[in-house]
């Protein structure tokens, strides 16, 4: 550091000496007639330039002294080292054709050696290793799981979360330590994808998910829609009410908008991570995503028939909902060429125009009529709820997931949940003059 300072001082001295000699030469040189004014102006300009350069050198010298002092204090243990500046995300690329999109799949893994089931299906169904690189981020340091991931060699990129320590939590949250570690891992892994690898978007799955044959086709086709419609903030492969008897098996191509964040295989853009990362929660990240402050009235795309299914009964949630709902979710088993379909109907204005018209044109029925399988001549019907309690009662009676997050029902859009009951389409819907979600409903 002292050497740098000396060099700058010598440079400044030589600069001043040179300009002084130049000025002396110009002043003492005989001046032809008519050139006096021009030379005077030239001398003034040189003097001003010399003064500007001198100030710049002095400023540089002050910075060197300041950083030299800081370095000395840091080495003496008086000043903690500064964190490196956070790299900015890459600028959005120009619009591309779906076939040219690079969409990495980020697999969050921990201590399940059954991650092999997840990876086998991903590698079997992906159409291109270049367009769909698989990145496995492993937390927990579980040796057997690490060996399974390593066995795939160059077919996947294996990252290891560097921080395996317990997360400091409030005493009343000790039993939720796992949720804190998951949130920490998500933050680190997504940071790697967007800030280190600098990808434009990513599909996130966990190690207990199995994917459908058209999993990659689905996300490749919906990616341009996510770019174009800013009222969308994710695309999900999951239908929360996608049990086999509650979906139309003949409409594997059918997609919806939903105000509920489904997760369980979801696509996000780098811009969304730029927005969420600074306020990422310490725990319970998925329910945090469902809060109005994060959702900001944006929606996700979700399928009629799920493109993922979970086989992970054991986990930090201790099998919550698994035996009652999750293990019955139907995984799509046939390929739908989504990239050849027109998905513009999912854009907000067009979707609301036809979807709301269809819902509120459907004849209204009572829950007893549905349960009794009456009025069979009606292929599409509407069951109207008036408040939180009636929604939960109807949902429970018909086998839907009845929990609400910040007032939003699972798979719901504008409060409407679409499903199949005993072979016919049912819309569980609020009144037509619905004004918005009540976050106190839970």
Q: What are 214-252's pLDDT values in tens digits?
A: 999 999 999 999 999 999 999 999 999 999 999 999 999
pLDDT, mean over the chain: 85
Say which residue the tokens 């001043």 belong to: 16
* Residue of 279 and 13 predicted with greater confidence: 279
Q: Taking a C-beta distance cutoff of 8 angstroms, is the pair 398, 370 a contact?
A: yes
Please provide residue 165's backbone torsions phi and psi, each rounded to the nearest 5 degrees. -70, 160
C-alpha distances (whole Å) from 425 to each of 12, 252, 378 are 82, 15, 9
- The 10s digit of each residue's pLDDT in 31-77 is 444 444 444 445 445 444 554 454 554 444 454 444 344 434 444 44
Q: Pairing between strand 134-138 and 105-109?
A: parallel
Average pLDDT of 296-314? Answer: 93
Burial tier of 177 (Cβ tally within 10 Å: 0-12, 13-18, 19+) = middle
Categorize the per-residue pLDDT at 95 as very low, low, confident or very high, splitting at 50, 70 and 90: very low
pLDDT at 278: 98
Please provide residue 95's backbone torsions phi and psi, each rounded to the nearest 5 degrees. -55, 140
Which residue in the list 286, 287, 333, 403 is annotated as catalytic? 286
Dihedral over Cα of 224, 230, 231, 236: its sign: positive
Fold classified for 362-429: 2,3-Dihydroxybiphenyl 1,2-Dioxygenase; domain 1 (3.10.180)
Q: Is 286 a catalytic residue?
A: yes
Alpha carbon distance 312, 310 (integer Å): 6
Say which residue the tokens 């207990």 belong to: 208
pLDDT at 19: 53
- Residue 437 burial (CB count, 10 A): 21
Asked which of 199-208, 317-326, 395-404, 419-428 is least confident by mean pLDDT, the reply is 317-326
- What six digits make up the tokens of 203? 């599909």
Helix (H) or strand (E) holding 382: strand 380-384
Alpha carbon distance 255, 251 (integer Å): 9
Say which residue the tokens 């086989």 belong to: 311
Helix (H) or strand (E) holding 205: strand 201-206
Query: Residue 408 in 3-state DSSP?
Result: strand
Average pLDDT of 364-380? Answer: 97
* Residue of 221 and 95 predicted with greater confidence: 221
- The 10s digit of each residue's pLDDT in 96-149 is 555 577 999 999 999 999 999 999 999 999 999 999 999 999 999 999 999 999
- Residue-by-residue DSSP string for 104-166: -EEEEESS-TTHHHHHHHHHHH-S-TTTS-EEEEE-TT-HHHHHHHHTTGGGSEEEE-S--SP
pLDDT at 312: 78
First to last CA, the chain: 62
Please provide residue 376's backbone torsions phi and psi, each rounded to the nearest 5 degrees. -65, -15
Q: Pairing between strand 157-160 and 134-138?
A: parallel
- Can you give the residue ranges of every domain in the chain? 2-75, 98-346, 362-429
Q: What is the CATH number of domain 98-346?
A: 3.90.550.10
Categorize the per-residue pLDDT at 162 as very low, low, confident or very high, splitting at 50, 70 and 90: very high
* Residue of 12 and 341 predicted with greater confidence: 341
Max alpha carbon distance in the chain (Å)? 115
């Amino acid at each position: 550091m002292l050497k740098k300072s000396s060099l700058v001082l010598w440079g400044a001295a030589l600069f001043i000496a040179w300009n002084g000699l130049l000025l002396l030469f110009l002043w003492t040189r005989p001046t032809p007639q008519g050139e006096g004014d021009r030379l005077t102006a030239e001398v003034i300009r040189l003097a001003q330039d010399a003064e500007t350069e001198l100030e710049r050198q002095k400023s540089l010298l002050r910075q060197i002294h300041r950083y030299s002092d800081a370095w000395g204090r840091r080495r003496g243990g008086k000043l903690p080292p500064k964190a490196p500046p956070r790299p900015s995300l890459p600028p959005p690329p120009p619009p591309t054709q779906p076939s040219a999109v690079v969409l990495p799949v980020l697999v969050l893994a921990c201590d399940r050696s059954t991650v092999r089931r997840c990876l086998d299906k991903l590698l079997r169904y992906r159409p291109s290793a270049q367009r769909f690189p698989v990145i496995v981020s492993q937390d927990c340091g579980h040796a057997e799981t690490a060996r399974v991931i390593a066995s795939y060699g160059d077919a996947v990129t294996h990252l290891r979360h560097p921080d395996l320590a317990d997360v400091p939590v409030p005493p009343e949250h000790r039993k939720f330590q796992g949720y804190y570690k998951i949130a920490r891992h998500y933050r680190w892994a997504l940071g790697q994808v967007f800030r280190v690898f600098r990808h434009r978007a990513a599909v996130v799955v966990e190690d207990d998910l199995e994917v459908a044959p058209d999993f990659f086709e689905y996300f490749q086709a919906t990616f341009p829609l996510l770019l174009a419609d800013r009222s969308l903030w994710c695309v999900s492969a999951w239908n929360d009410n996608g049990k086999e008897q509650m979906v139309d098996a003949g409409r594997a191509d059918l997609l919806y908008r939903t105000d509920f964040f489904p997760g369980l295989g979801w696509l996000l853009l780098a811009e969304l991570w730029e927005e969420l990362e600074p306020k990422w929660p310490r725990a319970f990240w998925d329910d945090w995503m469902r809060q109005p402050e994060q959702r900001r009235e944006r929606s996700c795309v979700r399928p009629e028939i799920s493109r993922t299914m979970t086989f992970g009964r054991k986990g930090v949630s201790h099998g919550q909902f698994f035996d009652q709902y999750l293990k019955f979710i139907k995984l799509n088993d046939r390929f739908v060429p989504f990239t050849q379909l027109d998905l513009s109907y999912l854009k907000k204005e067009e979707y609301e125009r036809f979807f709301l018209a269809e819902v509120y044109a459907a004849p209204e029925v009572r829950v007893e009529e549905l349960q009794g399988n009456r009025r069979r001549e009606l292929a599409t019907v509407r069951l109207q709820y008036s408040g939180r309690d009636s929604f939960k009662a109807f949902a429970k009676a018909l086998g839907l997931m009845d929990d609400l997050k910040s007032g939003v029902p699972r798979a719901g859009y504008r409060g409407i949940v679409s499903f199949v009951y005993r072979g016919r389409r049912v819309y569980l819907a609020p009144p037509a003059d619905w004004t918005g979600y009540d976050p106190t409903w839970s």
